[in-house]
Structure 1
Amino acid sequence: MSIADRVHRLLEEEHIPYETLRHTTSHSSVQTAIAAQIPLHSLAKAVILKDDLNDYLMAVIPSSNRLQIRQVRNFLDRPVKLASETDAQKPFSDCQFGAIPPIARAYEMPMIWDDRLSQVPDIYLESGDHETLLHIDQEGFQQLIQDTPHSNLCSQPRHESRPDPYES
């Protein structure tokens, strides 16, 4: 599969330079970072949230951290909750289950992101399958997230063996 069609189209249309990084099949952020030999804090992941109107919102955070729903609610000033994994996958029909690319614009979904991601020179993103990552530099990442709200949305880095929602 490699790169999801919508993601590939957006990257090409926006002229965002990227590289692909193949790795052995993985089904969690920790496994992906180990398989790809990259730092866990450089791997951005998508956590899909749902509001009271059943609208989806993507929170993009470093995989080394855990999303704090209370901080997200305070930042947005509205109630949100984690979407179930099945619900979270619905907008991503061109992706394998659990391999959601943290690129909300490709799916016309609102997004927020954690400030820690602006401090990492190289960002790695799920591409839509369990064997391929996208590697973009900070400038390309900023182009992807331009004009999207951001804040401190996470707890301190978690211990890498501890599970969290939507491991991808």
Structure 2
Amino acid sequence: MSLSRVLEGYLSDREATYTIEMHSVSRTSVDTARLARINEDSLAKSVVLEDEHGFVLAVLPASRRLELDQIERKLGRRLHLSSERKMVDLFPDCVLGAVPPLGAAYGLPTVIDSSLEGRTEVFFEAGDHESLIRMDGDEFFGLLATASVAEIAADRACLNAALALREQLGRSLLTLRKAAEAPMEEASIWRSRLQRALLRLVVAADNHIGESEGPGGLLAEVEAKAPRLWRDVERMRKEHVALLKDCFRILEDVKGESSSSQLIQHDALRLASNFEFHRHAAADLVYESFGVDIGGG
């Protein structure tokens, strides 16, 4: 797929001028901007919201996060993020997570963040995770003449810090898996490599936890922006404690002689899986709070 059928018809009917830019498969809007070598400020992403009255499409730059309370005040509605199942029904010709920002093409009321105004050009998803529409900024806004324009997004400095540490943690987990799955012919060498990988993971996890739980950190911001998610925040904190405890326990086993290499390998791989589940849950929490897709991996 390179261009959704509905989007193609909508652009054709309005004789819109645009080009299609291809890039490697991406998982998030941030990844898309990086792979396409474009500024995140010029990449318009879509967030689908709903309430009992119907759906709303929020459009904002990839560099910013949705402020749900601001769009609620603008519309006088109590909104929440739509489920994946509903998005599949709304956009049957699009890959999940690649919703074009032209809500009118799908009959959806649309609200655009004011920071997109004045852009020389705008890029947006064409319906999959490999192609972007590139369009003149004025023409883009002309296609959205019926949409509302308001300040519905904010900078994501806190999220950017969390994302950097998230990537560090992800790299550490890959290193741990490689070390754990390496051949065990030389047990001492295998244990030494695994120990180094675990120590690297401890540092990455400690950095991640410090940023997440510190004053003004990600979890504090989630609590402030979405108090209803306090149970999820508490679960994140408890998981931090449990995961670090497991790291240190396995480190002790690696340095000792009482546990077999096979058992240590099993525990190390289970630890990596538990960390990955935690990262998926954190990604869901960020999306639920800020409307920012940071990827589950």
TM-score using structure 1 length: 0.93
Q: CA RMSD in A?
A: 1.7
Residue 150 of structure 2 corresponds to 151
Question: Is contact 1:111–1:149 with CA below 8 Å preserved after alignment?
Answer: yes
CA distance in 1, matches of 2:88, 2:42: 23
Superposed displacement of residue 138, structure 1? 1.1
SS of residue paired to 1:150 = strand
Change (3 A) 1:97 1:166: farther
Q: Offset of 1:84 from its aligned partner?
A: 2.0
The answer to whether the 8 Å contact 2:44/2:122 transfers is: yes
What displacement does 1:120 show?
Answer: 1.6
Question: Could you report, residue by residue, the CA deviation over 1:73-126 in whole angstroms, capped at 9, with x for unpaired residues?
Answer: 111112111112332332100011211111111111111111111132110000
How far, CA to CA, are the matches of 1:68 and 1:88 in structure 2? Answer: 20
Structure that is richer in helix per residue: 2
Q: Which residue of 2 aligns with 1:42?
A: 42
| Structure 2 match to 1:82 | 81
Q: Is the 8 A contact 2:87 2:96 kept in 1?
A: no
Alignment-derived partner of residue 60 in structure 2: 61
Q: Distance in 2 between matches of 1:88 and 1:70?
A: 22
Shift of 1:127: 0.4
Report the residue type matching 2:138 in the other structure.
E
Any residues of structure 2 matched to 1:2-151 within 5 Å, and which? 2-53=2-53, 55-151=54-150
CA deviation after TM superposition for structure 1 residue 52, in Å:
2.1
How big is each residue's C-alpha offset from its partner over 1:20-70, in whole Å with a ceiling of 9 and x where there is no partner? 0000000101110011000011100110000123x1110111111101110
Tell me which protein shows more strand as a share of its residues.
1
SS at match of 2:90: coil
Q: Tell me the amino acid that sits aligned with residue 67 of structure 1.
A: L
User: Share of identical aligned residues, percent?
Assistant: 31
| Superposed displacement of residue 147, structure 1 | 2.6
Contact 1:95-1:129 within 8 A present in 2 as well: yes
Whether contact under 8 Å (1:68, 1:155) holds in the other structure is: yes
CA deviation after TM superposition for structure 1 residue 157, in Å: 4.2
Count residues in correspondence.
Answer: 167
Structure 2 residue identity aligned to 1:48: V
1:151 and 1:166 mapped to 2: Cα distance? 18
Q: Is the 8 A contact 1:114 1:154 kept in 2?
A: yes
Determine if contact 1:27/1:130 at 8 Å carries over to the other structure: yes
2: CA distance, partners of 1:39 / 1:153: 20
- Tell whether the 8 Å contact from 2:60 to 2:153 is kept in structure 1 after alignment: yes
Q: Which amino acid aligns with 1:149?
A: S
In 2, distance between residues paired with 1:64 and 1:86? 26
> d(CA) in 1 for partners of 2:154 and 2:120?
21
| Residue range with higher mean Cα deviation, 118-127 or 85-94 | 85-94
Give the CA deviation at 1:11.
0.6
Where relative contact order (Cα < 8 A, 6+ residues apart) is larger, the structure is: 1
TM-score (norm 2): 0.54
Q: AA paired with 2:73?
A: N
1:166 CA drift (Å): 5.8
Unaligned runs of 5+ in 2: 165-285
